[in-house]
Amino acid sequence: MEILRQVADGLQKKGEPFEKAIGGFLSDWVSDAPTLAVQTSGSTGEPKTIVLKKEQMINSAKATGEYFDLQPKKKALLCLPSTGIAGKMMLVRAMVLGLHLDYVEPSSNPLPNNKDYHFVAMVPLQAENSLDRLDGVGKLIIGGAPVAPNLRVELKKQSVEAYETYGMTETITHIAVKKITEGSNYFETLPNVSIKQDERGCLVIDAPKISDERIITNDLVELISENQFTWLGRYDSIINSGGIKLVPETIEEKLSSIIESRFFVAGIPDETLGQKLVLVVEGDPTEAQELLPSIKHIKTLSKYEVPKAIYFVKAFKETSTQKVDRKKTLEEVF
């Protein structure tokens, strides 16, 4: 503990801003307090502070270690902001499991040259920009946003074992994973996690080792078995357009077959429809004229799922954990 205190103190005093955040977390970790305050990302709502028990964070780290067979002295990389739960838990896993952890400043292209790692966690944009160097990674977990179909196709060509994760701050990162390189279409829960649906069709999580209370989510799912489910989208993001209920995440997966840039769909107020479906794309607006005809030719897209308007933004607004901040981006557009 004393060594950790010295490391934390050194990072806080002399480190770069991202290193100060690491030092701050380590300082909180070695304190006598049994809990830690963690802020949610704000990608699906207003950011809020959640108090987590250190014991439960340790249990989460052990579950990840068991599932992915992370033995002591295996090498891992922290390339996510340690201000969020995903970055914090990479630090906890290193301490609890005895991993050798390197860290780099979070960026969209994080993998160091000529270094191999057994275990790395990334957001989709980082994974996409690292495709040419993933042969040096044993197991890769990807979270923070859905993995687009075109990225899944590229990952299947790699030697890395790549997994899409499902989780949130309240569940102390992932409680379920989907193995991309095996072409799985559903998430499978980690040990000691049980699931069911509520009357809305949303996922309810019972994980006593990481949460004292049952977690009721706003995630629409289809249950495959007692420990497997397919994620459909967010209940609170449903767009009601002229009485037709549209799930943005379902539409986005269909659109991802032809749109390579980052994008999202949203509902904006409309006098006739109540909400109008629009598409927001990060990139060059000169592509707009060609994009709409291509969208209309997607066979899986119903006529109600075709955006009524397309808006281009030079750069999306992001949260502190590098997720797309849809609300702030829309505020900029309108």
User: DSSP for 266-299?
Assistant: EEEEETTTEEEEEEEEES-GGGHHHHHHHHHT-T
Question: Where along the chain do its domains lie?
Answer: 34-234, 238-333
The predicted model gives 136-145 an average pLDDT of 94
Rounded Cα gap, residues 88 and 66, in angstroms: 19
Class of the CATH domain delimited by 34-234: alpha beta
pLDDT at residue 43, as a whole number:
56
Name the superfamily (CATH) of residues 238-333. ANL, C-terminal domain (3.30.300.30)
pLDDT of 44 over the 80 cut: no
The predicted model gives 167-178 an average pLDDT of 94
Residue 196 belongs to what H/E stretch? strand 194-197
- Six-digit token string for 168: 């949130």
Residue 142 belongs to what H/E stretch? strand 137-142
The pLDDT mean for the chain works out to 92
User: What band does 185 get if pLDDT is binned at 50, 70 and 90?
Assistant: confident
pLDDT of 79 over the 70 cut: yes
The 3-state secondary structure of 199-233 reads: CCCEEEEECCCCCCCCEEEEEEEEEEECCEEEEEE
pLDDT at residue 287, as a whole number:
67
Reference 267, options 248, 244, 288; nearest CA is 248
The predicted model gives 63-76 an average pLDDT of 96
The predicted model gives 134-144 an average pLDDT of 95
Rounded Cα gap, residues 134 and 43, in angstroms: 27
User: What band does 116 get if pLDDT is binned at 50, 70 and 90?
Assistant: very high
**pLDDT single digits (tens) 263-307:** 999 999 998 999 999 999 998 887 667 788 899 999 999 999 999
pLDDT at residue 332, as a whole number:
87
More confident residue, 193 or 332: 193
Residue 330: left if φ>0, alpha if ψ -120 to 50, beta else—which one? Answer: alpha
User: What band does 136 get if pLDDT is binned at 50, 70 and 90?
Assistant: very high
Rounded Cα gap, residues 76 and 93, in angstroms: 9
pLDDT of 333 over the 90 cut: no
pLDDT of 176 over the 90 cut: yes
pLDDT at residue 45, as a whole number:
59
The predicted model gives 52-64 an average pLDDT of 96
Residue type present at position 177: V
Strands 161-168, 173-179: parallel, antiparallel or unpaired by DSSP? antiparallel
pLDDT at residue 200, as a whole number:
93
Reference 51, options 202, 188, 196, 212; nearest CA is 212
The predicted model gives 42-66 an average pLDDT of 86
pLDDT at residue 47, as a whole number:
72
Q: What is the separation, in whole angstroms, between the first and last Cα of the chain?
A: 51
Rounded Cα gap, residues 141 and 65, in angstroms: 13
Percentage above 70 pLDDT, the chain: 97
Q: 10 Å Cβ neighbour count for 232?
A: 17
Q: 10 Å Cβ neighbour count for 147?
A: 23
pLDDT of 320 over the 80 cut: no
Instruction: Name the pTM for this structure.
Output: 0.81
User: What band does 1 get if pLDDT is binned at 50, 70 and 90?
Assistant: confident
The predicted model gives 195-211 an average pLDDT of 95
The predicted model gives 118-147 an average pLDDT of 94
CB contact at 8 A, 108 and 141: no
